[in-house]
Amino acid sequence: MCSQDDFDRDVPVTTADAPVLEGRRARLRPVGPGDYGFVSALELDPAVHFRWRHRGGTPSPERLVSSLWEGALAVFLVEHRPSDTPVGLVVSYQADFRSGTCSVGLVAAPHLPPGPNPILDGFALFTDYLFTVWPFRKLYAEVAGFNFAQFASAVPLIFTEEGRLTEHDYYRGRYWDKHILALSRTHWQEVGAWLLPAISDPSRPRGGEAA
């Protein structure tokens, strides 16, 4: 049983910084109702439609929005800095806390502002967010072969290809392999050690620090 003396003792207070959701070129923001127009336009854009969730299907406007949250753990809009223009989405889904795994995906607007790609910065911030907030040991990404060229340069650097489903996805007269990519917490700690400082905004305090 606690006594008054227990409350009077000087107890060290530890503070925890908030996850970092903003860098020099990208900002993550949870998707809200005001973003549904952008999300719908992005997913139905001809340059994106066949690559993303519905793979050419045209669900109702209501279904298009509601399906975004099915099985989702976190969904963020990626905004370009400093213009605050939305440029894509990052999502985590199928979180399995028993195995310590979660799947991730990203989609970029077909017309990005000039300069370095803010989507890649946003995905790095999102990856760090997932490993910071939850005890995942590994993140998975499934990439159809006709999309793989967009990510091929990042695979040796960040991901490991753990498997491949041969001739799994049909598009334009042929079946394409599906690549199963994995990123472990241990590897992210190594990559994040140099990548996060490179994309961070040095003018902004981290977490709960006062400016």
- Can you give the pLDDT at residue 195? 92
| Domain that residue 78 falls in | 20-199
110 falls within a domain = yes
- Can you give the pLDDT at residue 180? 94
CATH number of the domain at 77, please.
Answer: 3.40.630.30
117 falls within a domain = yes
- Can you give the pLDDT at residue 211? 35
177 falls within a domain = yes
Q: How far apart are CA 188 and CA 10, in angstroms?
A: 37
Our count of domains for the chain comes to 1
Nearest to 188 by CA among 164, 161, 157, 162: 157
5 falls within a domain = no
87 falls within a domain = yes
Nearest to 112 by CA among 81, 136, 158: 81
* pLDDT string in tens for the chain (211-residue length): 545 554 455 555 556 788 999 999 999 999 998 998 888 888 888 778 777 777 778 878 888 788 888 899 999 999 998 888 899 999 999 999 999 999 999 888 888 777 777 888 999 999 999 999 999 999 999 988 888 887 777 777 889 999 999 999 998 999 999 999 999 999 999 999 999 999 988 766 554 443 3
7 falls within a domain = no
Strand segments (E) across the chain:
26-30, 72-80, 85-96, 101-108, 138-144, 160-171, 174-184
6 falls within a domain = no
206 falls within a domain = no
